């Protein structure tokens, strides 16, 4: 029997499904200009000590590399470095290709976030895990959920997968 828990093939299957689903949503598919998205951390409510941010990273990379500029992501996780560079340009300490006082950071149209949840059952025959992966695009102006999808995986095994 296989182990239970979140494994690499789950990550690939879930993120591929989410990227395709996002591209199919009307707010993305019919947009005049590429909507701007900021990643908001995934919440891990499972018993598994996994790097939950890998899910959003993989969705972002899939959409950036294969979606023909249908979605644009902001590097909010790099804000400190970006603000420092902007301040250096404004102070004249480094050069700028345009007026550093005019161009500001873009705002987000949407936040992409997710939640990982699980239900575990143990008995004399082993362990069973049901894992629900849910993701949302939230409108940054209205807080409305513009898109939502999920994937679910159930595994049964004698023991947990080993995490290294």
Ordered by where they begin, the domains of the chain are: 8-157 (3.40.50.10610)
Evaluated on CA atoms 25, 26, 30, 33, the torsion sign reads negative
User: pTM here?
Assistant: 0.83
Diameter over CA atoms, the chain: 70
Whether residue 104 contacts residue 79, with contact meaning beta carbons closer than 8 Å, is answered with no
Residue-wise pLDDT for 105-162, tens only, equals 889 999 999 999 999 888 877 888 899 999 999 999 999 999 999 999 998 876 655 4
Residue-wise pLDDT for 4-27, tens only, equals 677 889 999 999 999 999 999 999
Residues 6+ apart with CB under 8 A from 121: 127, 128, 129
């Amino acid at each position: 029997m296989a182990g239970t828990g979140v494994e690499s093939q789950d990550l690939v299957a879930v993120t591929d499904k989410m990227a395709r689903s996002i591209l199919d949503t009307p707010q993305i598919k019919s947009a005049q200009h590429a909507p701007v998205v900021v990643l908001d951390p995934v919440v891990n409510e499972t018993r598994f000590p996994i790097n939950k941010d890998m899910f959003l990273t993989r969705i972002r990379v899939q959409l950036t590399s294969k979606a023909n500029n249908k979605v644009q992501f902001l590097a909010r996780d790099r804000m400190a470095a970006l603000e420092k560079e902007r301040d250096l340009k404004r102070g004249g300490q480094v050069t700028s290709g345009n007026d550093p006082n005019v161009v500001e950071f873009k705002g987000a149209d949407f936040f992409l976030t997710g939640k990982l949840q699980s239900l575990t059952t143990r008995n004399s025959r082993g362990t069973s895990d049901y894992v629900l992966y849910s993701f949302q695009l939230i409108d940054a102006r209205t807080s409305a959920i513009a898109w939502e999808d999920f994937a679910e995986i159930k595994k049964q095994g004698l023991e947990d997968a080993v995490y290294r």
